[in-house]
Structure 1
Amino acid sequence: MGFLGDVANAARRGVTQALGAITSMAANLNDRRALTPSDPPPDQPTSIAQVIEELRLLGAAMPTEDGVADFHRMYLHVTELIGAAAAARSFQDAAFMERLDCVFAGLYLDACRATDESRSSAWQPLFALRAQPGTARLQHALAGMNAHINFDLGLALVRTCRQLGRTLDSPGVRADFLAVNEILAAAVQEVRESYLAGVALQLDRAAAPELDVVGGWSIEAARDAAWLSATVQWALQSRKDAYAAYLGSRASLVGLVTRQLLTPVSFPELGPVPGAGA
């Protein structure tokens, strides 16, 4: 896979090993009983339709040649697919699924509104390097997906359960979580295939470094890490200092992988890769 891919994989293995140790320890601190329901923040979207509308408005204001926009276009597409699945009653717990989508999207919207100083470490690399030369659109799209799934999704699961008075063991929660990730996986694969179709028109030496960097990123591994993170967060909720420390540490680790995914590897003299856009 090459040096850069090995670095990214090593970082992910470190995250998984650390989470495994914390999970074993956290299991003795708390159980998964429902805690007191919490109110959603006032700026949290209230429906998938509202999420889609906000994403469309935000996307319209982004430059075409922009790293955050590369992720944003894919994420809007994913959200539209989730909205269609919800309308088709494809989820076991429709109320949970709609709230999860709102909480999940709200975390990304928070990252967009944040300043450089206040933005989560998980998202910092994508926003800081959004105009970096030599980085393919696929790299930006997957870097955003890495931050959103590996950090935001676990947090969104816990917050959604708290808002609705559910737990991670409530009927439908795990099943709907997996269903959403099937939609995410299909969207990521679509973007990969679009990119590879363009790569076929370029010299092999231009494509290989980019594929080496992004090829090791797995949405399945990210999904599993997000669920594991949610279980750790649930166990740590009653210990505010430990919970805050865990979130800070996880954000930094996720940000490290995001940064590796954005390593410049393109050959500028060959121009942009055809078909790599939205």
Structure 2
Amino acid sequence: MTQIEQSAVPAGAGDPPPGGFPVIERMREWRSRWSAGGGVAVFNAVYLDAVERVAPDLGGAGFDDREAAALLGVRCAERYLSAVETAAAGGRPPRCWRPLLPYRRHPGVRPPQFALSGLQAHVGHDLVLAVVDTCRTLGCDPPDLEGEFERVGDLLALLEERVHDDLMPGPDALGIADPLTHLVSSWSLERAREAAWSAARTLWRLRDFPSLAEEFRQRTDAGAGLVGRLLLTPCR
């Protein structure tokens, strides 16, 4: 297996996911390990809420193992879970997740920042590699998954909506001059998804050039981490 295949395909990625959506249970397990309100715990909470809402469409009851959108959604979630499990075991997670993981409770970083930093890592890195994983599993090209990519994008949009609805302070507490207002409005999920789709197609085209593909993957990871770190700029 080439270097890029090793980095882009997690264990068991060649096999269809089992029936149901076991990643939900894994997210629930992580919820019980963290105290609420800090770092990855915030992202995990809003991600779990969003996934549970769409589980029937992305791997809930009656899940078809060959259903591409469900497979893509599972692969994407597995990337996130692999990152936190690697970090918990003392390993080195992808660079995009490293800014968020140490921020268990930073007094100057507010909950929406934790969630958006996690979302940035998930879209800018995990989703990119999940598209490649899914193409390998199904034997297709990225354009064949464009519709499925949009369906997973709907889940991510729901996640972003939960961030704004549940975590952002109310208008009485958050003035237009508040740095958090500027920081949150400077990040766009739509732009992040567009960049992820472009990166996935590029990485797929580089699959026959493993050294270039690995270099591109690393730069994608680092770029996602840079944006994620900026989103964690203290606002107090």
TM-score of the superposition, structure 1-length normalised?
Answer: 0.73
Residue type at the aligned position of 1:261: L
Please say if 1:199 is aligned against 2:170: yes
Give the equivalent residue in structure 1 for 2:3: none
CA distance in structure 1 between the aligned counterparts of 2:73 and 2:20, rounded to whole angstroms: 7
Residue type at the aligned position of 1:228: S
Which residue, out of 212, 215, 222, partners 2:182?
A: 212
Residue type at the aligned position of 2:225: G
Seen in structure 2, the aligned counterparts of structure 1 residues 248 and 86 have a Cα distance that, compared at 3 Å, is closer
Seen in structure 2, the aligned counterparts of structure 1 residues 87 and 39 have a Cα distance that, compared at 3 Å, is closer
**Conserved? CA contact 1:47–1:102, under 8 Å:** no
Per-residue CA shift, 1:223-263, capped at 9, x if unaligned?
A: 11111011010011111111111111111111110000000
Give the equivalent residue in structure 2 for 1:244: 214
Per-residue CA shift, 1:52-81, capped at 9, x if unaligned?
A: 111111111111132111000111122223
Which residue, out of 147, 150, 168, partners 1:178?
A: 150
Q: Which runs of 5+ in 1 are unaligned?
A: 1-37, 267-278
- What secondary structure does 2:55 align onto? helix
Seen in structure 2, the aligned counterparts of structure 1 residues 230 and 47 have a Cα distance that, compared at 3 Å, is farther
Give the equivalent residue in structure 1 for 2:126: 152
**Conserved? CA contact 2:59–2:74, under 8 Å:** no
> In the TM superposition, what are the counterparts of 1:45-64 in structure 2 within 5 Å?
46-64=18-36
Offset of residue 50 of structure 1 = 0.6
Offset of residue 39 of structure 1 = 8.3
CA distance in structure 2 between the aligned counterparts of 1:102 and 1:231, rounded to whole angstroms: 19
Residue type at the aligned position of 1:233: L
Give the equivalent residue in structure 2 for 1:141: 115
Residue identity over aligned pairs, in percent, reads 31
Deviating runs (4+, > 3 A) in structure 1? 42-48, 86-89
Residue type at the aligned position of 1:260: L
Give the equivalent residue in structure 2 for 1:22: none
Give the equivalent residue in structure 1 for 2:78: 106
> In the TM superposition, what are the counterparts of 1:15-164 in structure 2 within 5 Å?
41-42=11-12, 46-86=18-58, 95-115=67-87, 118-164=92-138
Highest RCO, 1 vs 2 (Cα 8 Å, sep ≥ 6): 1
CA distance in structure 1 between the aligned counterparts of 2:86 and 2:10, rounded to whole angstroms: 19
Seen in structure 2, the aligned counterparts of structure 1 residues 48 and 160 have a Cα distance that, compared at 3 Å, is farther
Residue type at the aligned position of 2:153: N
Which residue, out of 132, 148, 161, partners 1:189?
A: 161
- What secondary structure does 2:195 align onto? helix
CA distance in structure 2 between the aligned counterparts of 1:39 and 1:256, rounded to whole angstroms: 23
- Segment of structure 1 superposing worse, 144-153 or 187-196: 187-196
Give the equivalent residue in structure 2 for 1:262: 232
Give the equivalent residue in structure 2 for 1:11: none
CA distance in structure 2 between the aligned counterparts of 1:202 and 1:124, rounded to whole angstroms: 30
Give the equivalent residue in structure 1 for 2:5: none
CA distance in structure 2 between the aligned counterparts of 1:195 and 1:52, rounded to whole angstroms: 21
Paired positions, count: 224
**Conserved? CA contact 2:23–2:74, under 8 Å:** yes
CA distance in structure 2 between the aligned counterparts of 1:245 and 1:97, rounded to whole angstroms: 28
Which has the greater radius of gyration?
Answer: 1
Which residue, out of 200, 203, 210, partners 1:230?
A: 200
- Segment of structure 1 superposing worse, 126-135 or 237-246: 126-135
CA distance in structure 2 between the aligned counterparts of 1:78 and 1:94, rounded to whole angstroms: 22
TM-score of the superposition, structure 2-length normalised?
Answer: 0.85
CA distance in structure 1 between the aligned counterparts of 2:11 and 2:50, rounded to whole angstroms: 24
RMSD of aligned Cα (Å): 2.7
Residue type at the aligned position of 1:74: V
- What secondary structure does 2:178 align onto? helix
CA distance in structure 1 between the aligned counterparts of 2:92 and 2:19, rounded to whole angstroms: 26
Offset of residue 48 of structure 1 = 4.8
